Copies of this chain bind each other. A is one copy, B any other.
């Protein structure tokens, strides 16, 4: 061992002990008579002291240490004369008697500090230096701790972690697969799993009863800002359960994580149906850290001669409490916000309910004070509030207003990342219409069970959009962190579902044949859920990006700029695989 103690461990109680530490030079200060070096490792920082008077050669040696040199120092723990209360080791220092440079270091391309001067690209290129910074290090430590908590919690409840294959069969349904050419079976390919969905259902057929896996999944999608081609799921499945059992089990897990990681005790999580979530917040993943619920005022708004309102399916708004004093400039900014292509509204109607009881609005021409009072009453606004109103086709308008609600929440400081508002969204639609391909798709996946009371609607194509699924999402602070469903365990119902999704018998058999076969040998009722682990970590840390919770992430082009992957491979490799690159 190169050390007797870590750099985070020594206290005043250790004074007088001779110790050996090893770590990186964080910084050194040459004060003439004394030279101080902060030695850093994963566990903390300890000050090394070198005295010019008592040991000049050693002190000279210490002065030559560069940033990030790896050194080993032996000496006696002594009480510091000027203590540092900001770090746990701040009461002591090491009076160094022996110093050994284990490895030199070039000057790092950015500072290894809490706040780095390195840009994103540089930090990614030298990710191994970035990880030395405590914020990144803490994220990875937190991720480890969360994974351990999850595993022990589920294992204590009879879940078995079972590893499912990474080299599986490609299934065109869903997102695009990454594929892997098989050398031993030329012309054939494996796919990397988008999730272990089918395998976990097979494990239920296999009688494993409770399964989980913290597992890597892959999707070859065009990457948006915060998506990775490979990501990690906490994947779970249970047999002989109903929806309530699943929600209880995984709400329990989430509560356990909040308690252990954040010290927060949650009571029962709120629940909301998908339809209510859309109606009240314009989103299937509403941010519940604040209210500002939608107020539908179509009836009150229509018939005043304002064409936009009169011709709209829905007039709906939110009340920003205490914002009646917003300036022209602030209101213009909000109008610009909703008109951005990402939001796509035609415009924004505001109504100020001034503190003195008077009104000022962008529709004064059509709405007199009484009419505005009626609007205010319908929206539950009080003097001092600002009403912000959108109109148009119902669903589209709700989604636009959702963006405005979140913007107002941010502006008003109502979205504190250290506050947590978990929520279940239930009763998702089973099917989703796609205009482009002119057919219905499974909103979750083709194995999701309809609610039994809606099952009959499968026989009526006109009502397919109304069928509710036994599907649920867990949402925290406006992010979907997990979701799942009751699965279809009955083959007849599953076949009906495939037909609804436009699969021929042959297509269904080719893609899911082995799962469907399995279901004929005694499939138990089962259900499951998967958490996005990267996202869960980032939310618990109050961070926006998942990237800093992944040790070696890829950029938006799916590229690892540190290792330079992907990269061309040799002709020999291509020949062995019997494939050709055919770039147009």
Q: Which residues of A contact B (CB under 8 A)?
A: 1-3, 6, 22-24, 40-43, 68-70, 72, 102-106, 108, 126-132, 137, 140-141, 143-144, 147-148, 151-152, 155, 158, 160-170, 172, 176-192, 198-199, 202-203, 205-209, 216, 218, 220, 222-223, 229-230, 232, 240-242, 245, 489-490, 513-514, 518-525, 550-552, 554, 557-560, 562-570, 573, 576-584
Contacts and interface: CB of A to CB of B under 8 A. Distances in A.
Given A69-B522, A137-B208, A152-B148, A551 B131 contact: no
Which of A519, A521, A577 has the largest number of chain B CB atoms within 10 A? A521
Contact of A578 (B126, B140, B232, B584): B584
A207 B132 contact: yes
List the 4 shortest-distance A-B pairs measured between CB atoms, nearest first: A105-B522, A169-B565, A131-B206, A188-B566
A41 B199 contact: no
Given A2-B240, A140-B208, A520-B105, A189 B568 contact: yes
A128 B205 contact: yes
B525 A2 contact: yes
A166 B169 contact: no
Contacts of A580: 579-582
A131 B559 CA distance: 39
A2 B241 contact: yes
Contact of A218 (B43, B166, B550, B557): B166
A146 to B, nearest CB: 11
Contacts of A583: 186-187, 578
A520 B106 contact: yes
A179 B181 contact: yes
Contacts of A524: 22, 24, 70, 102-103
Contacts of A525: 2, 102-103
B163 A551 contact: yes
A101 to B, nearest CB: 10
Contact of A522 (B3, B104, B202, B551): B104
A166 B216 contact: yes
A304 to B, nearest CB: 52
A209 B152 contact: no
